[in-house]
A and B are shown apart, each in its own frame.
Chain A
Amino acid sequence: MPADSPLLSVRSLSKRFGAVVALDSIDLDVSPGSIHALMGENGAGKSTLIRCLMGAVRRDGGTVLFEGTACDPASPRHAEAAGLSTVFQEVGLIPHMSVAENITLGRESRRWGLIDRREARARARRALARLGLTIDVDQELGGCSIALQQLVAIARALDVSARLLILDEPTSSLDRRETAELFAVLRRLRDEGVGIIFVTHFLEQVYQLCDRITVLRDGAHVVTRDTRDLPRPQLIAAMLGRTPAAPGASVTSAAPADAAPLLRATGLRRRESIEHADLTIPRGAAVGLAGLLGSGRSELARMLFGIDRPQGGRIELNGETFSPRSPRDAIARGIALTPENRKSDGIVPNLSVRENIVLALQARRGVLRSLSRREQDAIADEFIARLGIKTPHREAPISTLSGGNQQKALLARWLAANPALLILDEPTRGIDIGAKQEIESLIRGLINGGAGVLFISSELSELVRACSRIVVLKDRRTIGELRAPGLSEEHILEAIAAHA
């Protein structure tokens, strides 16, 4: 194989699930001895691409050449045998087994039909040595740090002599020091000639580590460029599907203090989720939360709503210290959240639209002070009409509604409870244009009623339209606040790109 020919060569790979095109004619070349970043927002098709390459799902069309020969694995096991390995972010290994077992599990050397444990340990040590690690291979994996577990997973891949290593968001639960250690190992492997596909949403890590970048958006290939030829603004623009900002626009980075805000959070942090976040939400205003995927938007929302407890910093609500221990605490103080994952965290699928709408209000009143059926019907009918929820009947199971109408019903659940602060985490994802506009006008209605809104969205145009200020998050830190006037998509992009 000539040195300059690619290790992996993907041509017009396509995959559809039913009517949905998940991957549309993707091209990708990875050279041996290089680190290739694969980037994109939610729904871009990164994980589908990985699953196609690993044989976890069958592609519909296109060719894949690995080391010059056609590569069409029937399962991840076959892909591993061919020399492709994937390290998943957290769920790859068996916590209560030893490091050595985790490296050799499923392909142990055997003598007389029995597992040769000494050989397994030796193999594990050899694989770890290639990463420059000498650790006790008999220790239990679950007792190791997440960073070390990642390295063990890489060692497992090397144990089957992987020539192409796919790392799926390996750094999302690592701190800075651990990330640096991981990068040292990856550079070492690159220098040995291993090709690496590095999936991440941490912008700066891409510039630290990767040689080339491929960006996918909505299942399509957007751009592939050497890292030095793709400056940050252009990368962000490619990911979000915008034209890059014209330089020179003014960005406010520090927010002046408000007199009596509804909520003020300072210095919030929590391991593996937020490094540092400051946030102020005034009464009767919508604050947007902008940032790329993985920048910590949802994590911040979870803390404010009492799902996760911050490990540092403080939250003030109406000037009083507020430390919610559960969503119930937060709800009791008038905070509401529509979660990012509508299906698993939001709707109660087999219950009717009516029951889903009255759920939060009923929960607050308790079991015994129940709403009469007539009150429930009235509330449900009111919101079905006000929000334009398209449902055959208020008694239809909510799972039979379209995504947009489910989302509106979730909004109705909280509007019925009349919250002082409503946190909307990606409320418009996967819903049609009309529903999006209705949700935006709802937000305006809430603000006019004096409530505060925290609006999280990947669609910058939406944030700009709906919010009077936008807090920008990057790599799990708040990096600044933009205020109207002077709010535009370009300013947000620039803020994300500028902050290195």
Chain B
Amino acid sequence: MKRTPHARHLPLLVTASLVLLVFIAGALVYPRFASFGVVRNLMVDNAFLAVAAVGATFVILSGAIDLSIGSVMAFTSILLATLIEQHGWHPLAAIAFAVIVGGAFGLAQGLIIQAFELPAFLVTLAGMFIARGGAFLVHPQSLGIKHPFVADVLNERLSLVLPVGPHGVTIPLLVDIALLAIAAAAVVLSFTRLGRNVYAVGDHEQGAMLMGLNIRATRLSVFTISGLCSALAGVVFTLYQQSGDPAACKGLELDAIAAVVIGGTLLRGGIGSVLGSSLGVLLLGLIQTIVTFQGNLNSWWTKIVVGFLVLAFVALQRRFTR
């Protein structure tokens, strides 16, 4: 069968054009839509989702799925707040610890999946429950962070002020973290053996095995990375909210998976990119922004539109990749 050249990039192109189209439409319909403020908010409000989507991209590229993302984020966020506020940890130490815990959680899930040959969706579904319950066990309510280092240094002094617009645009640290995570993931996926192995395993596991690639290590790395990214996303979320909340981010894994799929990554694995996932996050954010601007539209439209976009992309990919 002859394939259209680069048919696999088609979904990515579609996503990019959709992002542009939605933005232009918003700009035409609503005054003040095409402003630096709106773009800034788009990035700030979706930074944690972008980081979570980076982790989800790795897992999905390898042909698996991780449903524990949102719960691990909530766990990280409340762990961070408790360590800082109630145990007097320095925020940086607490952040480092929380991220390591997230990575260990992901690794543990990967080990169970491997050792007992269980489906990833089931183990991570259980992981979603364990992390959620664990979050409430750490602290039963949301907890504001008043540590001066967080407010002054992380959220104020480390912000970039871009000299655009009448008053300049402040880009807070959490956006930089998200952009760094995306860039790092892009490099890992394209230019390291681990990254290429992730694609190979997701595309054709049998073939990867015959080529002598270490499939076990690749799968474990993928779940560890997803855990790390979820925890980092939890850190970004905590900085964003300036508080930890064990009830936060319910169902965020679905948004992350949706962003990955809308970004052109095949749910079966093997095809996709972290750039696409970022575009997917952007598209989700734009839809949300439009819904907010419209005022009389309600937020559930976002979910429905996202659901249909996911379906459309899954169908599109079936059409073009076999």
User: A–B direct touch, CB within 8 Å, in complex?
Assistant: yes
Q: Smallest CB–CB gap between B194 and chain A, Å?
A: 10
A105-B3 in contact (CB<8A): no
Residues of B within 8 A of A465 (CB): none
B203-A96 in contact (CB<8A): yes
CB contact between A105 and one of B206, B211, B321 (< 8 Å): that residue = B211
Q: Smallest CB–CB gap between B24 and chain A, Å?
A: 32
Residues of A within 8 A of B2 (CB): 143
B196-A76 in contact (CB<8A): no
Give the contacts of B170-226 with A (CB-CB under 8 A).
Answer: 187, 190-193, 196-197, 199-200, 203-204, 206-208, 210-213
A114-B192 in contact (CB<8A): yes
Bound complex: CA A273 to CA B275 (Å): 42
A96-B193 in contact (CB<8A): no
Bound complex: CA A214 to CA B207 (Å): 28
CB contact between A92 and one of B193, B199, B210 (< 8 Å): that residue = B210
B199-A96 in contact (CB<8A): yes
Residues of A within 8 A of B187 (CB): 114
CB contact between A106 and one of B3, B192, B211 (< 8 Å): that residue = B211
Residues of A within 8 A of B271 (CB): 96
- How many B residues have CB within 8 A of the partner chain? 26
Known: A108-B193, A108-B196. A93 touches B207 (CB 8 A): yes
Give the contacts of A97-112 with B (CB-CB under 8 A).
Answer: 97, 101, 105-106, 108, 110
Residues of B within 8 A of A95 (CB): 203-204, 207, 270
Q: Does A207 contact B (CB under 8 A)?
A: no
Q: Smallest CB–CB gap between B271 and chain A, Å?
A: 5
Bound complex: CA A143 to CA B207 (Å): 16
Bound complex: CA A95 to CA B207 (Å): 9
Residues of B within 8 A of A222 (CB): none
A115-B8 in contact (CB<8A): no
Q: Smallest CB–CB gap between A85 and chain B, Å?
A: 10
Bound complex: CA A393 to CA B295 (Å): 70
A97-B193 in contact (CB<8A): no
Taken residue by residue from 145 to 163, chain B's Cβ proximity to chain A (1 for < 8 Å, 0 otherwise) reads as 0000000000000000000
B5-A76 in contact (CB<8A): no
Q: Does A88 contact B (CB under 8 A)?
A: yes
Q: Does A459 contact B (CB under 8 A)?
A: no
What is the interface residue range for chain A against chain B?
20 to 34
A143-B5 in contact (CB<8A): yes
Q: Smallest CB–CB gap between B317 and chain A, Å?
A: 11
Known: A105-B200, A114-B187, A115-B196. A92 touches B207 (CB 8 A): yes
Residues of B within 8 A of A139 (CB): 5
A91-B210 in contact (CB<8A): yes
Residues of B within 8 A of A97 (CB): 196, 199-200, 203
Q: Does A94 contact B (CB under 8 A)?
A: yes
A143-B212 in contact (CB<8A): no
B211-A92 in contact (CB<8A): yes
Nearest residue, chain B, Cβ from A101:
B196
B191-A96 in contact (CB<8A): no
Q: Smallest CB–CB gap between A168 and chain B, Å?
A: 10
Residues of A within 8 A of B3 (CB): 140, 142-143
Q: Smallest CB–CB gap between A81 and chain B, Å?
A: 9
Bound complex: CA A105 to CA B210 (Å): 11
Bound complex: CA A142 to CA B207 (Å): 13
Q: Smallest CB–CB gap between A116 and chain B, Å?
A: 9
Known: A106-B193, A106-B197, A115-B196. A94 touches B204 (CB 8 A): yes
B203-A94 in contact (CB<8A): yes
Residues of A within 8 A of B196 (CB): 97, 101, 105, 108, 115
A77-B212 in contact (CB<8A): yes
B203-A91 in contact (CB<8A): no
Known: A96-B270, A108-B193, A114-B192. A80 touches B212 (CB 8 A): yes
Taken residue by residue from 92 to 134, chain B's Cβ proximity to chain A (1 for < 8 Å, 0 otherwise) reads as 0000000000000000000000000000000000000000000
Q: Does A18 contact B (CB under 8 A)?
A: no
B213-A105 in contact (CB<8A): yes
Q: Does A256 contact B (CB under 8 A)?
A: no
Please name the 8 residue pairs, one residue from A and one from B, whose CB atoms are nearest each other, closest first.
A77-B212, A114-B191, A143-B3, A94-B200, A115-B191, A94-B203, A91-B206, A96-B203
A contact set with B: CB distance below 8 Å = 75-77, 80, 88, 91-97, 101, 105-106, 108, 110, 113-115, 117, 139-140, 142-143, 156
Q: List 29 A-B contacts (CB under 8 A).
A: A75-B212, A76-B212, A77-B212, A91-B204, A91-B206, A92-B207, A92-B211, A93-B204, A94-B199, A94-B204, A94-B211, A94-B270, A95-B204, A95-B207, A96-B8, A96-B203, A96-B321, A97-B196, A101-B196, A105-B200, A106-B193, A106-B212, A113-B192, A115-B190, A117-B191, A140-B6, A143-B2, A143-B3, A156-B211
Other A-B pairs, 18, CB within 8 Å; known A114-B192, A115-B191: A75-B212, A80-B212, A91-B207, A92-B207, A92-B210, A94-B200, A94-B211, A96-B8, A96-B271, A105-B211, A106-B197, A106-B211, A115-B192, A140-B5, A140-B6, A142-B3, A143-B3, A143-B5
